[in-house]
Chain A
Amino acid sequence: VTAWLIAVLTALGVLLWGMVKADLEDDKVCRWLARHLICRAASRLPCDERARWREESIQNAFDLPGRLPPLLWALDTYVRAGRWGRMRGAPSRSQVLLARIRAAWQRLRSLPTAQARARTQQLHPASIQSPPASENASTYLIDMCRARISPADLTPLKESATKLAQLLRDVEVVEYRGHGL
C-alpha cells in the first residue's frame, strides 16, 4: 500500500510540476501572477497608500528583464507586505480576524433583542396594516363562490357580496361612532 501511495503521489507531483513549469514558462502567466501578488501585498497597506505603492511596485517589477525576476520581486514584496503594512499603521491579519470574530459575536448576542424588537413592532397596533373587515368578507365570499360555482352563476353572488360589504362597512362606521371616533 505504501509503495502504491508513493507511486501515486510521485505521479501527481510530476504532473503538477509539469503544469506549473509550463505555466511559468508563459510570460503572460508570470506577469499576471506578479501583478496579482503585488495587488495582494498592496491590500495589506493603509487604504490611502495602496494605489501609489501598487503602481510603483508593478512598474519596478515589470522593468526587470526576463520572466522570473519580476515574479521574484513581486513574491518578495508579498512576503514582507504584512510587516510593511503594520509599519505603515495598517492592522495585522490577526487583528482583522479578531475584530471580525468580535463583531460576529456581538451580532449573535444582540440577535434575540433584535428579534424581540421586530416582534414588538409587528404586534404593535399602529403597525398593523390589515384591510377593513368588509373587504375581507367580500373577498372571502367571492373566493368561495369561484371555488364552487361556475363563472356564469357568479354575477348574483358578486352583487350579494357587494351588498354584504356595504353592510359591513356601515357596521364599522357605527362601531367607530360608538367609540366616539
Chain B
Amino acid sequence: MDGLPRTTINVLRVLRVFLEDPATERYGLEVGQAAGLRGGSLYPVFGRLEDAGLLVSHWEDTDPSEAGRPRRRMYRLTTEGVAYARQALAEAQQSLTPSSDRGPRLGRTPGLPVPGGGSA
C-alpha cells in the first residue's frame, strides 16, 4: 500500500458508487456515469485508489468475439477499501453537517449572544 490517497470530491464520488454494493465488480464507464465523471477525472482516481491498495482490478474473463464487445477492466473495493470508503464518506458527511453546539457559522459576531445561552 502506498499510503492513503488525498480525499478529493472525485475520490468520494467514486467511493460512494462502489459502496452501494461493495461486493459487485464494476467497470470504468459504469462507475463514471454513476459518479458523474469522465475519463480524464476517473482514471486518475482509479490509479490512486489502486496504488493505495483500496481497489483491485482485472481484465474481464470473456472472449471479445463471443461477447461482441472488447473486454472490460473490472474494479472492486478491497476490505480495506470498504472500511476506508465508509470512514471517508462519514467524515465528509460530518464536515458538511454543522454541529448543533457550535451554532451557525455565518453571522457569528464576537460580543453577540450565542444561540443556546452564554455570551461569545
Contact = CB atoms under 8 A, between A and B. Distances in A.
Interface residues of B, number: 17
B29 A64 contact: yes
Q: A49, A59, A74, A87: which has the most chain B beta carbons within 10 Å?
A: A59
B69 interface: yes
A76 B39 contact: yes
Nearest to B27: A60
Nearest to B33: A64
A81 B71 CA distance: 23
Interface in A29-75: 41, 49, 52-53, 55-64, 72-74
Contact of B40 (A49, A64, A80): A80
A64 B32 CA distance: 11
Nearest to A82: B40
Interface string A93-118: 00000000000000000000000000
Give 10 closest A-B pairs by Cβ, nearest first: A80-B40, A77-B39, A76-B38, A76-B40, A60-B29, A59-B70, A56-B73, A60-B28, A84-B44, A77-B40
Interface of A: 41, 49, 52-53, 55-64, 72-74, 76-81, 83-84, 87-88
Interface of B: 27-29, 32, 38-41, 43-44, 47-48, 69-73
